[in-house]
Amino acid sequence: MRELVRAYQAFASYDADGYRDSELTVPQADVLFTLGNTDGLSFKEIGEKTLITKGTLTGVIDRMEQKKLVKRRVCTEDRRITYVALTKQGERLFEKVFPQQVDYIKQRFDRLSKSELKDIGQALTKLHEIFI
Amino acid sequence: MRELVRAYQAFASYDADGYRDSELTVPQADVLFTLGNTDGLSFKEIGEKTLITKGTLTGVIDRMEQKKLVKRRVCTEDRRITYVALTKQGERLFEKVFPQQVDYIKQRFDRLSKSELKDIGQALTKLHEIFI
DNA sequence: TATTGTTATACTCTATAACTATA
DNA sequence: TATAGTTATAGAGTATAACAATA
């Protein structure tokens, strides 16, 4: 448990440094990365994936919309649902920041051997399962 | 990387549920657990352990002091340093919430075998090391 | 009635930088 | 001069609940 927290803190701190100059807050980067390579997701789906509650998410999306990174689109079949998708500008930012971020993180994972990476992947999957 | 984020999110969400009715915010719980079983730590030490920056920490400690959970004490040898320690009330809360929390989390870890736990521990230690 | 997202409130945290006091 | 903590500012996130629109 301690180790999980420590490992994640170290990772999260390193990770946040990666997109520090992108003008994104942590939740905003989370949303950007969640929306990347999709045609748009509903508020509900985004909330489930990022663990941001709906009231908060409205504000986060508002600010990203002001920055022209995302766009709302009401679902025509069920008008209660609002989809959020990246704009062209949002996609450009995603395509710039995401690979950078992956590389940045990969630098550290490259310090490990293939078998270590496999073990870590399995360990994390088990951890994930027990805490769902 | 995805797995690490997912595993931690699942854990963090479960963890926060554990002390939801303790009237503590996440950073405050973090500080409480950091100060538990110590004679007090300086702002600097608390900041290093919790990754809360100094400006923010002053506010967090202010609010915990208002709730009578912690007390400041200026170091007599080096008067620039302020130690923060749990009050009796803070200790009582720690002694109530911490074991509860450990049990609560243990419930989930108990789903794993000893060898799985060992593997996970090792994996997390490696992760921690590469991201320092 | 149940669900989706918005609004409202009040507070807490965050980042940043300038500042005070000690060393 | 360097360090420890405080203050100031402005913005962002959080929890919660009530609300509107839609199903």
Q: What's the CA gap between A104 and B35, in Å, rounded?
A: 34
Q: Please report the pLDDT score of residue B9 as a whole number.
A: 86
User: Is residue A82 within a helix (H) or strand (E), and if so which, with residue range?
Assistant: strand A82-86
pLDDT tens digits for range B82-127: 999 999 999 999 999 999 999 998 999 999 999 999 999 999 999 9
What is the identity of the amino acid at A95?
E
Q: What share of chain A has pLDDT > 90, as a percent?
A: 77
In this structure, is the CB of residue B125 within 7 Å of any atom belonging to strand C? Answer: no
Does residue A56 surpass a pLDDT of 80?
yes
Residue A72: beta bridge partners? A84
pLDDT tens digits for range A39-53: 999 999 999 999 999
Only one residue has tokens 């390579």, namely: A37
Q: Please report the pLDDT score of residue B18 as a whole number.
A: 87
Does residue A65 surpass a pLDDT of 90?
yes
Q: Domain of residue B54: give its range.
A: 2-130
The DSSP secondary structure of chain B, one letter per residue, reads -HHHHHHHHHHHHHHHHHTGGGT--HHHHHHHHHHTTSS-EEHHHHHHHHT--HHHHHHHHHHHHHTTSEEEEE-SSSTT-EEEEE-HHHHHHHHHHHHHHHHHHHHHHTTS-HHHHHHHHHHHHHHHHHH-
For residue B4 the two structure tokens come to 């690490």
Q: In what order do the strands lie in the sheet with B70-74?
A: B41-42, B82-86, B70-74
Domain CATH code at residue B95:
1.10.10.10
Arithmetic mean of pLDDT over chain A:
93
Only one residue has tokens 């920056």, namely: B53
Q: Count how many domains chain B has.
A: 1
Picking from B115, B122, B117, the residue whose alpha carbon sits closest to that of residue A120 is: B122
For residue B6 the two structure tokens come to 């997912």
Q: In what order do the strands lie in the sheet with A70-74?
A: A41-42, A82-86, A70-74
Picking from A64, A25, A24, A30, the residue whose alpha carbon sits closest to that of residue A46 is: A30
Interchain CB distance below 8 Å, A109 and B132: no
Task: Centre a 10 Å sphere on the Cβ of residue B34 and count the other Cβ atoms it contains.
Answer: 18
Tell whether B115 is within 8 A of chain A (Cβ): no
Residue of chain A nearest B34, judged by CA positions? A2
Residue A83: beta bridge partners? A42, A73
User: Is residue A72 within a helix (H) or strand (E), and if so which, with residue range?
Assistant: strand A70-74
Q: Please report the pLDDT score of residue A6 as a whole number.
A: 83
pTM for the structure as a whole: 0.89
Give the pLDDT mean for A75-104. Answer: 95
Does residue A75 surpass a pLDDT of 80?
yes
Tell whether A127 is within 8 A of chain B (Cβ): yes
Position B2 confidence tier, pLDDT thresholds 50, 70, 90:
confident
Give chain A positions within 8 Å (CB) of B122: 119, 123
Tell whether A125 is within 8 A of chain B (Cβ): yes
Q: Please report the pLDDT score of residue B6 as a whole number.
A: 83
Helix axes B26-35, B54-66, angle to 10 degrees: 80
